[in-house]
Amino acid sequence: MEIVKAVKLHKYFGKLHVLKGADFCANRGEIISVIGPSGSGKSTLLRLLNHLEIADRGSIRIDGQYIAKENAEGRSEYLSGKEVLKICSRLGMVFQGFNLFPHRSVIENLMEAPMMVAGLSKSVAAEKAEVLLGKVGLTDKRDAYPGQLSGGQQQRVAIARALAMDPEIMLFDEPTSALDPELIGEVLNVIKNLAAEDMTMIIVTHEMNFAREISDRVVFMDDGAIRATGTPDEILVNPDHPRIRAFLQKIVRA
Amino acid sequence: MDIDYLSDTIAYIAMGAGVTLKVFFVTLIFSIPLGIICALGKLNRAKALRGIPGALLRGILGGYTWIFRGTPLLLQLFFTYYGLGILSGGRIAFSPEMAAYLTFVFNYAAYFTEIFRGGIQSIGKGQYEAAKALGMNPWLTMKRIILPQAVKIILPPLGNESINLIKDTALCSVITVTEILRNANRVMSRDFNISALVIAAAIYLLMTFVVIQVFRRLEKRYAYYNIR
Ligand SMILES: Nc1ncnc2c1ncn2[C@@H]1O[C@H](COP(=O)(O)OP(=O)(O)OP(=O)(O)O)[C@@H](O)[C@H]1O
Ligand SMILES: [Mg+2]
């Protein structure tokens, strides 16, 4: 049962052709790691699924509903902004740079969208936020401001904030790349716990061990398209694709 | 120089201070919202504002801020008070105070437009993306996420402009608005001594002191977090 399906996505930034016919799908409950060299279009693909970027060509479906459909000329045609926002609210996103709201305390970060978008009352939103803070191990930071937290703590708050909207699909764009090495583990652990809950997850990452451990499927992107997809073992352990081998060697050396 | 003379002079100039304060508050109350609206107009990239309508809107707003920031406030006062009357053959005639309000509101809104635009633009695009990913629409994002953070950034320049505004109100004297400086000047030329000027200076200092304190408080209120 495909909950995310993107077909022949093309994306240009000005003249730069970044996605060149990327096909991507995710089944409900599946955990997919997306790997590939820098500039191959991993972030762009993720951001298209979440409507943070607009596709030029191709179609995107979330749980069977088209948010973008190819028209007769092959251009992507989108639903209205309001409708897209509604469908995309089923996706949560975690950014490399956290993007917490600095003027709001930790608990307020978690309550903002549930109250303003989902229409929860303050008390219900607060209760929910407390539960989520417990889940990411930050109950004692509820009244801190993001600027007072370590990077790892900020990213855990960001994960809890996304979960507060009850997403069915979580997108992670290199959630640990901005972190000091000693803080990576705590964030990966939170993501692993989520994986145990049957959440659909699409994770762009350079953490190969983590990808191998957590993923149902690994997708290799290169030069704007998906060049290989398979089990973690097929892609990460015994890849027969020379580009993957070259990529993995580079990562190991780095 | 006796006590009676001084207290009469102070009372007379204080009447002018009432007018000065009126110009001050009318200007702030109207030019701040106008500035926010113009700043949002300049920054808006909504679908309806792509292409020609958007270019037209930005052109008009750009012309507006250029004209009001690019010519002397004194000239603008003359234009509103005398110039419009001449141009319209006497059909448009404002009272001195009305001419002062109009000129100051549009002049300061032009500065505020640029201050707000800068403040809003200094908020990173990650904030918009995080809000959107949480399902917040552009209006909610602006109201709840962007503007509250922009306020912190624009408070210092806003404070500076408010101090400038107090001093700029003195320009209204040239179109016969009976504010502090005009009254002080009349006393001075009548009695040929400068005590009126000293009193006027003291009143301006008092006013700017209060404004400085108010903004210091406001900035403290926003000091609880840092935008990084
Ligand atoms: N907003 C933008 N404007 C212009 N070019 C962009 C923009 N976003 C991405 N690009 C370019 O598109 C290409 C693909 O970028 P993308 O961020 O998707 O790569 P990536 O696979 O995520 O790389 P990394 O591993 O470095 O994050 C890059 O060449 C990048 O410079
Ligand atoms: Mg990236």
User: SS3 for B142?
Assistant: helix
B44 domain residue, yes or no: yes
Estimate to the nearest angstrom the gap between the alpha carbon of B66 and the chain centroid: 16
ipTM: 0.94
What is chain B's pLDDT, residue by residue, as a tens digit (228 residues)?
588 888 989 999 999 999 999 999 999 999 999 999 999 999 987 767 778 888 899 999 999 999 999 999 999 999 999 999 999 988 989 999 999 999 999 999 999 999 999 999 999 999 999 999 999 999 999 999 999 999 999 999 999 999 999 999 999 999 999 999 999 999 999 998 889 999 999 999 999 999 999 999 999 999 999 875
Q: How far apart are CA A163 and CA A93, in angstroms?
A: 9
Q: Total structural domains in chain B?
A: 1
B48 domain residue, yes or no: yes
B228 domain residue, yes or no: no
- Which residues share a beta bridge with A24? A6
Name all residues whose Cβ lies below 6 A of ligand 1. A 13, 16, 18, 36, 38-44
Q: Nearest CB to B228: which of A91, A102, A116? A: A102
H or E stretch including A109? Answer: helix A106-116
B38 domain residue, yes or no: yes
Q: Which residues span the domain enclosing B112?
A: 3-221
- The enclosing domain of B130 has a CATH number of 1.10.3720.10
Contacts of B224 (CB under 8 A, 6+ apart): A145
Q: Which residues of A sit within 8 Å Cβ distance of B? A: 50-52, 81-82, 85-86, 88-89, 91-93, 95, 97, 99-103, 112-113, 116-118, 145-147, 158, 161-162, 165
Three-class secondary structure assignment of B2-20: CHHHHHHHHHHHHHHHHHH
Number of H helices, E strands in chain A: 9, 11
State the angle between helix axes of B147-168 and B3-43 in degrees (0 to 180), rounded to the nearest 10: 140
B227 domain residue, yes or no: no
A149 and A179 in contact (C-beta within 8 Å)? Answer: no
Residue with token string 């007379």 = B12
Intra-chain end-to-end CA distance of chain A, in Å: 38
B226 domain residue, yes or no: no
Long-range contacts of B138-142 (CB under 8 A, 24+ apart): B138/B46, B140/A116, B140/A117, B142/B40
B178 domain residue, yes or no: yes
Please tell me the distance in Å from A157's CA to the nearest CA on chain B.
13
B196-224 burial: b if 16+ Cβ within 10 Å, else e: beebbeebbeebbeebeeebeebeeeeee
Nearest CA to A247 out of A37, A22, A30, A47 is that of: A37
pTM of the predicted protein model: 0.90
B138 domain residue, yes or no: yes
